[in-house]
């Protein structure tokens, strides 16, 4: 009776440990899924839609593009849209990972799920359902978790090899034990070998790490489109930054001008940040901007339009090269200040210039320092004049500067560094960055950038904070470390345990019981699952990742 009780005790322990292993695995995956589902929970249960003179409470699912909704102080935005009335400090931490609020006013875009912390807004909806940013985040993370990677292929290959290893070990075990006249022991040893060689832990080693890593990244404002990009970031030793809108704020201010009215008329139909700055400056001064026609834009050269019967062109140094015109007299002084200089050409003759200052992001200083601590070369690429680029580069401590680069040549500069043996990451936000993003080993698009840039990138930063690049590198290194640990454990455990299960130590009196073999198999799953959970301790907020690098280096 005692022997039978001991047998059932072992069986009960086996069932408990196997269930514990599966529970940890399922809980890990469920936490990842629920964390993403919690993004959808950020949306309010109801929305207040403006209908004529009345405000009607509706379900957010009933909203249509073009509807205007009221967002109360402390309330969440029900769908992506543009502010048409009011200004508020928006809490966007759930999307960007940044803890501080961002002031948004009329004409600016707000994202579904963000919170107006201090005052009310009226927002015109421009995206609903699957077209919203939150839906896009969930879709990107799901795609990343489903995509393949080098480490996953290695794990799959190892699992396949383990099958043949176990089958071969079982066959050898049978031959040896039957040959020494122990058929009963042979059956027990064969079953023990097959049980202990179950590749469950090996199959779990990579997917669980990836699921947790992508979920943690999404919470930190980093969206992983391609798992290969996440793996490659740990090798990156050169980071390309597009200057405008990435290292600088991308909101230039017109400080001095001689022909603002004509420039604003020509730039009125342009979406370029410099164009918006010029038109904004004219509006602030109350200038009357004449109508323009025949607008056209040439990347890296400038814009052309007909204003009051004259051809007006506005652009940088390439425009002067094309028209063979001299600079304005103030150009050298403006350039010494590190300003962007645009010239206004009327009917082929330079009639004046504009001085625009683009302020460096405060976060850029720490981002460059942290990348240097990580051993990466920091490179800045821009279409601006060399003097402007050098002024920004000196302040930030940039290692290498490519100035006056046309959009079509940016990919060539990335290729140039790759030819030097560098693993290159490219950070950009514009249409003209898309070829370079695709050329780089890892393309990183700023979330505020264009759809073309985002489509060309493997990683998307929800915020415009350049320190998020540090978060991606740290996550890549941590995730790879966990993958490697899990693979070594899962494979190494089998290589050691299978010979013991086969009875290799039987001559000295040690034989691994079948029940113990089953317990060890389940324990390996538990170890792999718990080890992957340690990734949850990483804080991927841009400021936290950067400070950790600066303090630990």
**163-202: pLDDT as tens digits:** 788 788 888 888 988 888 888 888 888 888 877 777 667 7
Rounded-to-integer distance, Cα 7 and Cα 514, Å: 11
pLDDT at 35: 46
User: Buried (b) or exposed (e) across 221-258, using 16+ Cβ within 10 A?
Assistant: bbbbbbbbbbbbbbebbbbbbbbbbbbbbbebebebbe
Diameter over CA atoms, the chain: 108
pLDDT at 317 over 60: yes
245 DSSP 8-state letter: I
Query: Are 239 and 169 within 8 A, CB to CB?
Result: no
Q: Residues 68-89: pLDDT tens digits?
A: 999 888 888 888 899 998 888 8
526 is written with which tokens?
């538990």
Cα atoms in the Cβ-side hemisphere of radius 13 Å centred on 105: 0
pLDDT at 237: 92
Rounded-to-integer distance, Cα 232 and Cα 228, Å: 6
pLDDT at 378 over 50: yes
349 DSSP 8-state letter: E
% of the chain with per-residue pLDDT over 90: 14
Query: Are 353 and 331 within 8 A, CB to CB?
Result: yes
Average pLDDT over residues 401-413: 83
pLDDT at 7 over 50: no
pLDDT at 4: 38
pLDDT at 5: 39
The backbone region for 342, taken as left when phi is positive above 0, alpha when psi lies in -120 to 50, beta otherwise, is beta
Rg of the chain taking only CA atoms, in angstroms: 30
Highest mean pLDDT out of 95-99, 150-154, 521-525: 521-525
pLDDT at 43: 65
Output the average pLDDT for the chain: 80
pLDDT at 159 over 90: no
Rounded-to-integer distance, Cα 253 and Cα 242, Å: 19
Residue 372 neighbours by CB distance under 10 Å:
16
pLDDT at 93 over 80: no
pLDDT at 505 over 70: yes
Average pLDDT over residues 123-128: 89
The length of the chain, given as a count of residues: 553
pLDDT at 248 over 60: yes
369 is written with which tokens?
């320092």
Rounded-to-integer distance, Cα 166 and Cα 208, Å: 24
Q: Where are the beta strands (DSSP E) in 339-404?
A: 340-346, 349-357, 377-381, 400-402
Does the annotation count 53 as an active-site position? no
The CATH architecture annotation of domain 41-139 reads Distorted Sandwich (2.70)
Locate the domains of the chain by residue range: 41-139, 147-204+478-552, 222-247+361-462, 250-359
pLDDT band at 346, cuts 50/70/90? Answer: very high
pLDDT at 503: 82
Higher pLDDT, 336 or 328: 328
Task: Give the active site residue among 67, 80, 226, 242.
Answer: 242
Beta bridge partners of 76: 115
pLDDT band at 39, cuts 50/70/90? Answer: low
pLDDT at 513 over 80: no
- pTM equals 0.66
% of the chain with per-residue pLDDT over 70: 82
Average pLDDT over residues 439-455: 70
Mapping DSSP to helix (H, G, I), strand (E, B) and coil, where does residue 471 land?
helix
pLDDT at 135 over 80: no
Query: Are 351 and 383 within 8 A, CB to CB?
Result: no
* Main-chain phi, psi angles of 155, to 5 degrees: -65, -40
Query: Are 212 and 535 within 8 A, CB to CB?
Result: yes
pLDDT at 373: 93
- Of the candidate CATH numbers 3.40.50.1000, 1.20.1730.10, 3.20.20.80, 3.40.50.300, the domain formed by 222-247+361-462 belongs to 3.40.50.1000
pLDDT at 360: 85
In CATH terms, the fold of domain 250-359 is Calcium-transporting ATPase, cytoplasmic domain N (3.40.1110)
pLDDT at 372 over 90: yes
């Amino acid at each position: 009776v005692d022997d039978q009780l001991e047998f059932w005790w072992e069986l009960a322990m086996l069932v408990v440990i196997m269930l514990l292993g599966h529970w940890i695995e399922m809980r890990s995956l469920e936490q990842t899924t629920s964390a993403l589902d919690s993004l959808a929970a950020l949306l309010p249960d109801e929305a207040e839609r403006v209908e004529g003179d009345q405000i009607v409470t509706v379900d957010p699912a009933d909203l249509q593009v073009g509807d205007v909704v009221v967002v109360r102080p402390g309330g969440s935005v029900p769908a992506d849209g543009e502010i048409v009335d009011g200004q508020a400090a928006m809490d966007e931490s759930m999307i960007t990972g940044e803890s501080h609020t961002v002031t948004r006013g009329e004409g600016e875009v707000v994202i579904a799920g963000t919170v107006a912390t201090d005052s009310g807004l009226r927002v015109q909806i421009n995206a609903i359902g699957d077209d919203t940013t939150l839906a896009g985040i969930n879709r990107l993370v799901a795609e990343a978790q489903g995509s393949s990677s080098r480490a996953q292929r290695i794990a799959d290959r190892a699992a396949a090899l383990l099958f043949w290893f176990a089958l071969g070990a079982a066959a050898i075990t049978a031959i040896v034990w039957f040959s020494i006249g122990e058929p009963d022991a042979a059956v027990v040893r064969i079953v023990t070998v097959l049980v202990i060689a179950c590749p469950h832990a090996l199959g779990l080693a990579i997917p669980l790490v990836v699921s947790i890593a992508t979920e943690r990244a999404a919470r930190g404002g980093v969206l992983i489109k391609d798992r290969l990009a996440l793996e490659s970031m740990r090798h990156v030793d050169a980071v390309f930054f597009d200057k405008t809108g990435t290292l600088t704020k991308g909101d230039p201010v017109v400080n001095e001008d001689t022909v603002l009215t004509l420039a604003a008329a020509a730039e009125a139909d342009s979406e370029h940040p410099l164009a918006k700055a010029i038109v904004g400056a004219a509006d602030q001064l109350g200038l009357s901007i004449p109508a323009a026609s025949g607008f056209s834009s040439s990347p890296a050269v400038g814009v052309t339009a007909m204003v009051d019967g004259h051809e007006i062109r506005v652009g940088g140094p390439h425009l002067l090269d094309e028209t063979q015109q001299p600079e304005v007299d103030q150009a050298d002084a403006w350039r010494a200040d590190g300003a962007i200089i645009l010239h206004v050409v009327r009917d082929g003759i330079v009639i004046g210039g504009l001085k625009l200052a683009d302020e460096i992001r405060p976060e850029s200083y720490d981002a460059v320092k942290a990348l240097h601590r990580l051993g990466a070369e920091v490179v800045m690429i821009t279409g601006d004049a060399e003097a402007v680029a050098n002024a920004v580069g000196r302040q930030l401590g940039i290692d290498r500067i490519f100035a006056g680069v046309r959009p079509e040549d940016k990919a060539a500069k990335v290729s140039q560094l790759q030819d030097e043996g560098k693993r290159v990451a490219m950070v950009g936000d514009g249409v003209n960055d898309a070829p370079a993003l695709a050329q780089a080993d890892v393309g990183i698009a700023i979330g505020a950038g264009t759809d073309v840039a985002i489509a060309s990138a493997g990683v998307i930063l929800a915020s415009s904070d350049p320190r998020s690049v540090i978060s991606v590198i740290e996550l890549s290194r941590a995730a790879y470390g966990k993958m490697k640990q899990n693979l070594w454990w899962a494979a190494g455990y089998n290589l050691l345990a299978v010979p013991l299960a086969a009875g290799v130590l039987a001559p000295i009196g040690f034989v691994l019981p079948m029940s113990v073999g089953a317990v060890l198999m389940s324990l390996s799953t538990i170890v792999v699952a718990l080890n992957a959970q340690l990734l949850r301790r990483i804080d991927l907020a841009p400021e936290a990742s950067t400070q950790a690098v600066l303090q630990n280096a």
